[in-house]
Amino acid sequence: MKRYSRLHKPHIVINTVMVAILAIVIFPFIWMFFGAFKTNMEVMTMPPKLLPDKFNFDNFAQISKLVPLGRVLFNSVLVAVLTTGAQVLFCAMAGYVFAKISFRGRELLFILILLTMMIPFQLSMITLYKIFVRMKLNNTYLGLILPGTYNALGIFLLRQNIRTIPDSYLEAGFMDGASHMKAFFSIVLPLCKPVLATVAILGFMSSWNSFIWPLIIVSDSDMLTLPVGLSRIQGRWTTQWNLMMAGNLISFIPMLLVYIFAQKYFIKSVAGSGIKG
């Protein structure tokens, strides 16, 4: 019995530490959830209380008065879905080219693409803004979508995964008369579902939470996305924290649903990531 206790004592300690870390990570989300249904007075009460005295749903109605909630939600969903779809497609195509098609300078070009991950967006956004204004893409959905269709990390993940697909699969398709495009859509994409889901989740989260680019490229109130719209709730001198929490809850729910829907593919991708040679 003592031996059993000694063997399992380290596991108990590790599990306790992990539960404590998990509680620390999750607590802000729990606080945000209950804060979304509090009055501003309850949020500022000291000592703080986790649960509201009464669940107040008026916070969401007040947000709708301050921000055209339906419109900004529509804009965010449209931009995030189209950006994610285009990003996944372009990253998969680029990954296929770098993994299975030989051409001069392939490795150098791939390294240059990876190096772009080291360049902060803030460094290039002014130049990008000037280009988009000259092309008259400001205050347009295309202007909101285009910058998000490029993702060096997505290209890297898909390239590494596609390299694990045996060349014999593609050669069999080519012998049957398939082109590279046919092989890409019929053979490669079905075998990359976990990584495609991972890139889609990361791309959706990035687009959904994007704030700086929509802030500078859009000035028309009908084109605002949710993060920019919710920023208008915050006043210059005071902030209604209950409304901020309610807005953040609205923004958080779509990301949670996307992750729940695609989590099994995400876990498969992490467990069997093709990050090899």
Q: What is the pLDDT of residues 64-88, one digit of tens each?
A: 888 888 888 899 999 999 999 999 9
Indicate whether 146 belongs to any domain: yes
What confidence score (pLDDT) does residue 275 get? 45
**What is the pTM (predicted TM-score) of this model?**
0.81
Structural domain total, the chain: 1
Across 20-33, average pLDDT? 84
Q: What gap in Å lies between CA 168 and CA 174, rounded to an integer?
A: 10
Indicate whether 244 belongs to any domain: yes
Indicate whether 37 belongs to any domain: no
Looking at 152-156, 242-246, 260-264, which range is the least confident one? Answer: 260-264
From residue 89, give the alpha-carbon distance in Å to each of 86, 100, 243, 261: 5, 16, 37, 19
φ and ψ at 33, to 5 degrees? -60, -50
Q: The CATH number of the domain where 107 resides is what?
A: 1.10.3720.10
DSSP string, 52-81: -SS--THHHHHHHHHS-HHHHHHHHHHHHH
Q: For residue 276, is pLDDT > 50?
A: no
Indicate whether 11 belongs to any domain: no
Across 182-191, average pLDDT? 87
Range of the domain at 155: 65-271
Indicate whether 28 belongs to any domain: no
